[in-house]
Amino acid sequence: MGAVFFYHLTRQPLEVTLGMLLTKSLERGWRVVVRGTDPARLDWLDAKLWLEPEEGFLPHGLAGGKFDAEQPVLLTTALEAPNAPSCLIAVDGAEIRPEETEALERVCILFDGGDGAAVQAARGQWKALTSAGCKAQYWSEESGRWEKKAEA
């Protein structure tokens, strides 16, 4: 069973942290699914990922194409992940089911620390997932670098 890592964004915007996590995941040889809640927001992230990181390339695609199963990184609003990921990254409060963590190396939940509703949603996810027996870590960038602040 993989661990769930909660990333409390307070300094870097979503697209920067997402790019960093995707780069690290691909370096490990993992396929990744990025699950969001709004197709327009995923379109925006898709455009941003084509621009970041400047020194690299993040191969990815939006769900709905005939090559979804082959994508190293697939952006979707669906619960299904046709690209057989090792890592699931949830943004904008996307649903994570406890049983999903059993088949994955890692689940990452990114949430905006400046958005009270996003913080409350992440707290709810922490409680639901840890109550279901999932291992979880809470990471904060408040000090200027990522630090693990809690573990359950």
The predicted structure's pLDDT at residue 72: 97
Name residue, tokens 């046709």. Answer: 82
pLDDT at 2: 78
First-residue to last-residue Cα distance in the chain? 14
Looking at per-residue confidence, does 65 or 55 come out higher?
65
pLDDT digits (tens, 9 = 90+) for 4-54: 999 999 999 999 999 999 999 999 999 999 999 999 999 999 998 887 666
Mean pLDDT value across the chain: 94
pTM: 0.95
Any idea what DSSP says for residue 58? Answer: -
Q: What does the DSSP assignment read for 109-142?
A: EEEETT-HHHHHHHHHHHHHHHHTT--EEEEE-T
